[in-house]
Structure 1
Amino acid sequence: MTDSHAPAAPHLLVVDDDADMLRLLTMRLTAAGYRVTAVASAEAALTQLHIERPQLVLSDVRLPGKDGLALFNEIRAQHPSLPVILLTAHGTIPDAVEATERGVFTYLTKPFDGKGLEGKIAQALSLSAPAHAAQRGSPEAWQHQIISRSSRMAEVLAEARMVAHSDASVLLRGESGTGKELLAQAIHQASARTAKPFIAVNCGAIPEALLESELFGHVKGAFTDAVTNHKGLFQAADGGTLLLDEIGDMPPALQVKLLRVLQERVVRPVGSSQSIPVDVRIISATHRDLDAAMADSEFRADLYYRLNVVTLTLPPLAERREDIPLLANHFLHKLAGKYGKRLSGFAPEALKALNTAAWPGNVRQLFNVVEQVCALSTTPLVPLALVQRALRSPSVQVLSFAEARQRFERDYLVGLLKLTDGNVADAARLADRNRTEFYRLMQKHGLTPGHFKADGAGSLLN
């Protein structure tokens, strides 16, 4: 009985005028699990392409009538994303090499190794697979944001699902850009807390003087400009999950207070004498080596063991290369709407370039590269040259002018308030703006001058 949900076998079009070779290739590839259509000429191949588009074309170079290179040129004109592998005798190697520069996926010389051929076919199919065909069946709802068919990621997700059903604290390790926040969200979605809030805070991105107030809250009058009570993120996440991202950058003074919260399950807002019970599942994440940080007395061992009940490690993108084409196509289709582009995918050689790049910035860098090519592409199929250009340039996030101005404005205000110790009059004078306008700008960006005063900072950290 066949499984109606099993994925269809990939369809290959094989072209060779040697009847024995054609029969041998058909038998071998069928045994390897492919559906094979075999034809003896380029003309027959082009006719077949009009009937049904395969997922890959495997062709001999020497054919009667049009040769394999001419066939490739026509395929490239009509189906630019269709991968082509050429089989060549030694005399036609220079032509085949030239063809790879024009977009042939690869060429193999006769006699070729059968396993090598199957490996190249599998590689070509993985590079050209669309994102929606990435997994056998739709991904489960809890992990729907994680695009992967990597066995390494499958192991991590299996562990994540098991730990999600408990309330154990989880420490996510991995290089920057590997998707730690997405995994934390997936754990939350798979847990009994899914109906309650998921809140993420980057411990390294918030000024030290503000972090305690952001985490635990403050009461009216706790410091200058604390004009109302402020509920902290622990209270906001009550019943749900709190992700403490870049936990390795948390200041030592706050590590002590966080440990107390984890032990006692209560928070005490800055300036308050009352403790408030909280029910929060803690997930922490870091790209730092916390063992080294403990050895250097930069991270408390007792907090580490409290956070590190279960450790999950995300692999870098370079160790899950089978996911690169899936992620690239997923990001491309997602971003095409943002830029108002009709983009159908990447040229085969463009995908090859993505698949062989180093990716020190991991998935985040891949997203930025795809966003750059999406913003600049003028053709439905993203060409190799555009990908090479994006890979050569620093992978900075592509922001709109309004977003970039907003980010600069906030950073500029924070810098002035730090410089002037929270003195609005001095900060406004340095900015060449009147105080009313400066207060309006601070309000726009949610900045409180009291947080930047020396006495305010002291009250936050004592």
Structure 2
Amino acid sequence: MERILIVDDDITFALMLRTWLAKRGFDVESVGSVAAARTALAKGSYSLVLSDMRLPDEDGIALLQWMSGEGIAAPVIVMTSYAEIQNAVRSMKLGARDYVAKPVNPDELLKKIREALEASAASESFELAERSARGERTEKAEKGVRGTRDSVEPLNYIEGRSDAARQLYEYVRLVAPTNMSVLVNGASGTGKEHVAQLIHRGSKRAGKPFVAVDCGAIPRELAASEFFGHVKGSFTGALTDKVGAFEAANGGTLFLDEVGNLTYETQVQLLRALQERRIRRVGSTREIPVDIRLVTATNENLEAAIVRGSFRADLFHRINEFTLRMPELREMRGDILLFADFFLDQANRELGKHIVGFDAEAVAALTRCEWPGNLRQLKNAVKSATLLASGDYITCRELPAEVTAATPAAPSFSLRDPASEEEQIRRALSAAGGNKSQAAKLLGIDRKTLYNKLHLYGIE
């Protein structure tokens, strides 16, 4: 049975919440202060912590900091009547899984609790795979085995809390342990390679090589050599034997970025290698068996490319056993400040700065920008502003002009035309970053009506 610790000095509310959760199968305890929470967490193991932000002795931030210092990994959901963005961002940076405002919607809270517990279980699986991978690499090093390209850069990221981000990472956790070929489809700057690395780390191949190839950067005449390797003297410039990407990734994951840029001839060679699971170096007659898990990425519409005749349909079906669509940043508008604050922490470390955050005008500019360059553009904008900032907070003066000049008109929504009702609802949800209450306001309807229409149209 999952154990939950409630930290709230409102005795009546805590008792009601404790009783309600107990009826749903949880083992629940409650305390009324940060000091009491520390004592309870030090004595016992809990699956999740529900903590109020304002407590009589300290606040929820102090509890998160203490848990982090003690290495207590239980997910935390912070509850507060003071739903301020800066506090939400700060608590999530310190490890909070989620942030909900009082009065708490019971069904919404239960959903967040279950998501947090599932994510915690998945995280433990990822960590076990990582420990196994580190152990295997250490063993190889001790035996003097020379690695090729089997290292994966440490993942430095934060998961968004919007509906679009949650769905993406849920799909990643589902597909990662399988051996399915995954096509990651998304615009430039959305983090496709990051997701490919997550898939590798969550798979049974985590201790094996992860090899990334940028298909858009390979000269046509060298494509076969890059993928399959070559033997010395096989062509002008082949001064030594070379191991290709397939061979280097043997046993692990091969990631092909911008796969839509491959020439038709290279697509034929790639398809043959994937079908036969054998490759032959350029200039060699010896076939080499390979065992790889393929993850590809593109910002193109490959189905349209098939119609144009520039991409092979049989290769598309071979690489597309499962598709992940990367949401654009404007679809995760509720996460923009969370990502911005995360990138600010990175920039502070890299530049030796100590910027605290963003002032109100900068926050408004960040959240209204459309971010055509997605997370990459946001990261660059924050880093540049961090370098220029001279005070404690980043202001609009330090942000790039394309960010501060972005003042799109407020979107207009109407449900008067039944033929476009579903599309209007989807647009409103996107504009609100998945926040259903905000979407209902944009549509001019109440939350209950919106939920009924979501059910009617089968919108998640």
TM range (shorter): 0.5 to 0.7
CA drift of 1:360 comes to: 0.6
Q: CA shift at 1:385, angstroms?
A: 2.0
Selected match of 2:395 from 383, 394, 399: 383
RMSD: 3.3
Change (3 A) 1:321 1:6: farther
Distance 1:229 1:34 in 2: 63
Give the match for residue 237 of structure 2: 225
- Partners of 2:329 and 2:336 within 8 A in 1: yes
Give yes or no for the alignment of 1:337 onto 2:353.
no
- Show the 5 A alignment for 1:18-417: 121=83, 126=88, 131-133=93-95, 135-136=97-98, 140=123, 142=126, 145-387=157-399, 389=401, 391=403
Cα distance in 2 for partners of 1:322, 1:125 equals: 14
The CA deviation string for residues 15-69 of structure 1, in whole angstroms up to 9 with x for no partner, is: xxxxxxxxxxxxxxxxxx97679xxxxxxxxxx9xx97899xxxxxxxxxxxxxx
Change in Cα spacing, 1:169 to 1:54, as seen in structure 2 (3 Å) is closer
- SS class of match (1:303): helix
Counterpart AA for 1:204: G
- Alignment check: 8 A CA contact 1:170 1:311 kept: yes
Distance 2:96 2:221 in 1: 45
Percent sequence identity is: 40
Three-state SS of the structure 1 residue aligned to 2:296 is strand
Q: Which amino acid in structure 2 is aligned with residue 274 of structure 1?
A: R
* Structure 2 CA distance for aligned equivalents of residues 312 and 274 of structure 1: 36
Return the offset for 1:135: 2.4
Larger radius of gyration: 1
| Post-superposition offset of 1:195 | 0.4
Tell me the CA shift for residue 228 of structure 1: 0.8
Q: Rate the CA distance shift 1:277–1:7 in 2: closer, same or farther, 3 A.
A: farther
Farther-moved stretch of structure 1 (339-348 vs 354-363): 339-348
Q: Quick one: distance in 1 between partners of 2:230 and 2:292?
A: 19
Asked if the contact 1:316–1:362 (Cα under 8 Å) also holds between the matched residues in 2, the reply is: yes
Change (3 A) 1:242 1:119: farther
What residue identity is the alignment partner of 1:286?
A: T
The whole-number CA distance in structure 1 between the counterparts of 2:314 and 2:306 is: 10
Between the two proteins, the alignment pairs up a number of residues equal to 298
Q: Distance in 2 between matches of 1:52 and 1:148?
A: 27
Query: Structure 2 vs 1, CA of residues 144 and 8 (structure 1 numbering), >3 Å: closer, same or farther?
Result: farther
In the aligned structure 1, how far is the partner of 2:186 from the partner of 2:81?
30
1:253-304: CA deviations, max 9, x gaps?
A: 1000000010000111111111111111000111100011000000000000
Q: Could you tell me how far apart the structure 2 residues matched to 1:369 and 1:7 are? A: 38
Whether the 8 Å contact between 2:53 and 2:59 is mirrored in structure 1 is no
Structure-1 separation of matches of 2:343 and 2:58: 28
Q: Counterpart of 1:277 in structure 2: which amino acid?
A: P
Q: Deviation digits for residues 293-342 of structure 1, max 9, x if unmatched? A: 00000000000000011111111110111221111111111121211111
Contact 2:231 2:238 in 1 (8 A): yes
Distance 1:258 1:165 in 2: 24
* In 2, Cα distance between equivalents of 1:2 and 1:295: 52
CA distance in 1 between counterparts of 2:245 and 2:52 reads: 53
Give the alignment's TM-score, normalised by structure 1: 0.58
Quick one: higher RCO (CA 8 Å, sep 6+), 1 or 2?
Answer: 1
Question: Structure 1 residue 347: deviation in Å?
Answer: 1.8
- Residue 5 of structure 1: how far off its partner (Å): 5.5
Show structure 2 runs of 5+ residues with no match.
Answer: 10-50, 62-79, 99-115, 127-154, 407-460
Gaps of 5+ in 1: 10-32, 38-47, 56-117, 395-462
